[in-house]
Amino acid sequence: MTLVAFPPTPSADLWSWQQHGTCRTLPAEMFFHPEGERGKARRQRIETAKAVCAACPVLQACREHALTIREPYGIWGGMDEDERQRLAARRRLTA
């Protein structure tokens, strides 16, 4: 018989933080760029999305989720794709 130190966590518990996200009631397009978006329009959308994240009560949980699953797209936890990749790389170097 194998003893489990901690009972398995129901998968819903892993996602419950999303119910409290400020972005929940906003259009997904604010956080994920449309095909072909570039330049000033893209920078403005990213800045707007990050401003929403900055005031979000689950910013840290969102960021950690995106880093854990290696989310390749969108603004998560106030970070864009490139920022998450750089942070993940730094974490790997210091681990």
User: Is residue 40 a contact partner of residue 82, using CB atoms and an 8 Å limit?
Assistant: no
Helix ranges, 1-95 (H): 11-15, 39-54, 59-69, 81-94
The one-letter amino acid code at 73 reads Y
Phi, psi at 8, each rounded to 5°: -55, 145
Q: Say if 2 falls within a structural domain.
A: no
For the whole model, what pTM was predicted?
Answer: 0.82
Q: Say if 59 falls within a structural domain.
A: yes
Residues of the chain with pLDDT under 50: none
Q: Say if 16 falls within a structural domain.
A: no
Which pLDDT does position 7 carry in this prediction? 54
Range of the domain at 84: 38-95
Phi, psi at 76, each rounded to 5°: -135, 130
Q: Say if 50 falls within a structural domain.
A: yes
Q: Say if 60 falls within a structural domain.
A: yes
Which pLDDT does position 5 carry in this prediction? 55
Q: How many domains does the chain have?
A: 1
Which pLDDT does position 15 carry in this prediction? 75
Which pLDDT does position 95 carry in this prediction? 75
